[in-house]
């Protein structure tokens, strides 16, 4: 831009940050956490999900973005990958809109650790009373965070017409995976929309600026879903998710801080699985 518009680099940088900061001022307008007063239409309109997941308000997961750090900080940010990354925790609703985004954690931080911070910080992730988010096995099961069953088939590719669910737990995992896929689709669309945060090369910006850019892109993502959803990008993301090799998710080994809440999560999950299985078995008998 400095070259094409014949302006100094400092001028371009200053105006770039003005635009980013202006976008972030829209966070309260375009990143709204659900109050749980209604069930998303994507759930109510699906016989696979409703009424079983009627109390689900969305899905939560973490994703990694490449960042630029000095050599001293690099080991802290170099997690599962050989390059420094930032682990960003986000929540979204079934319509793929982000409702909460927490940026800044190093790539070595686990999703479960970041989640603990998200629930306790000054501007926390809020889980409406009696509601829950769907999460993968990297999180701790509790009443507000429902994980899949461990040691059971989970990913969609593991099931087929000739190899259907055989137990209530397998059926729960199949539909949990299908519905939780919303967060992977949201991340996929976000990175397709904004190459500035999905580039395979090291970013030009420092870590603090990259944090602002990621948050601004999430806000723009939500706005564009209303005014320009771009179904071609969504279809491309869906194709890639269907064909990609699923990464192995390490189950959380964090201790249950509240055994009663963990047990309540088990009760909620078992109830859903059993209700779902009873209806599924009846449909097979008809």
- Residue 202 inside a domain? The answer is yes
- Residue 180 inside a domain? The answer is yes
Which residues, in sequence order, are CB contacts of 88 under 8 Å at separation 6+? 62, 63, 64, 65, 101, 102, 103, 105, 214
89-148: pLDDT as tens digits: 999 999 999 999 999 999 999 999 999 999 999 999 999 999 999 999 999 999 999 999
Which pLDDT value is given to residue 123?
92
- Residue 123 inside a domain? The answer is yes
- Residue 183 inside a domain? The answer is yes
- Residue 94 inside a domain? The answer is yes
Report the C-alpha gap between 154 and 127 in whole angstroms: 25
**How many CB atoms are closer than 10 A to CB 43?**
20
- Residue 252 inside a domain? The answer is yes
Q: What are the structure tokens assigned to 73, written together?
A: 């900080």
Strand-pair category, 145-146 with 132-134: parallel
Residue 191 sits in which domain range?
32-285
- Residue 3 inside a domain? The answer is no
Report the C-alpha gap between 112 and 118 in whole angstroms: 10
172-182: pLDDT as tens digits: 999 999 999 99
Task: Write down how long the chain is.
Answer: 286
User: Average pLDDT of each block of 10 consecutive residues along the chain (286 residues)?
Assistant: 87 93 95 96 97 98 93 86 91 98 94 95 96 96 96 79 89 95 97 88 88 97 94 95 72 75 97 96 77
List helix spans (H) across the chain. Answer: 2-5, 9-24, 27-30, 41-44, 74-77, 111-120, 168-193, 195-198, 207-227, 231-243, 259-285
Which pLDDT value is given to residue 220?
97
Which pLDDT value is given to residue 250?
65
* Total domain count, the chain: 1
- Residue 264 inside a domain? The answer is yes
Structure pTM?
A: 0.92
Beta bridge pairs of residue 63: 88
């Amino acid at each position: 831009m400095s070259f094409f518009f014949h302006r100094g680099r400092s001028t371009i940088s200053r105006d770039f940050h003005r635009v980013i900061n202006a976008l972030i001022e829209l966070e309260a307008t375009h990143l709204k956490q659900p109050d749980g007063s209604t069930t998303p239409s994507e759930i109510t309109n699906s016989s696979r999900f409703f009424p079983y997941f009627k109390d689900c308000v969305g899905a939560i997961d973490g994703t990694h973005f490449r960042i630029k750090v000095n050599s001293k900080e690099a080991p802290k940010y170099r997690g599962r990958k050989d390059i420094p990354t930032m682990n960003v925790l986000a929540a979204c609703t079934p319509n793929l809109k982000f409702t909460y985004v927490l940026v800044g954690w190093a790539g070595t931080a686990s999703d479960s650790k970041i989640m603990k911070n998200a629930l306790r910080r000054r501007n926390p992730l809020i889980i409406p009373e009696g509601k829950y988010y769907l999460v993968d096995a990297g999180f701790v099961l509790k009443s507000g965070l429902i994980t899949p069953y461990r040691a059971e088939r989970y990913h969609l590719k593991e099931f087929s017409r000739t190899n259907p669910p055989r137990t209530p737990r397998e059926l729960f995992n199949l539909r949990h995976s299908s519905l939780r896929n919303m967060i992977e689709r949201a991340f996929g669309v976000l990175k397709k929309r904004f190459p500035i945060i999905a580039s395979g090369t090291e970013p030009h910006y420092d870590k603090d600026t990259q944090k602002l850019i990621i948050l601004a892109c999430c806000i723009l993502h939500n706005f564009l879903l209303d005014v320009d959803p771009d179904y071609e990008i969504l279809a491309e993301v869906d194709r890639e998710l269907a064909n990609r090799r699923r990464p192995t998710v390490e189950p959380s080994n964090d201790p249950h801080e509240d055994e009663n809440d963990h047990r309540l999560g088990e009760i909620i999950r078992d109830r859903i699985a059993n209700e779902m299985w009873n209806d599924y078995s009846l449909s097979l008998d008809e």
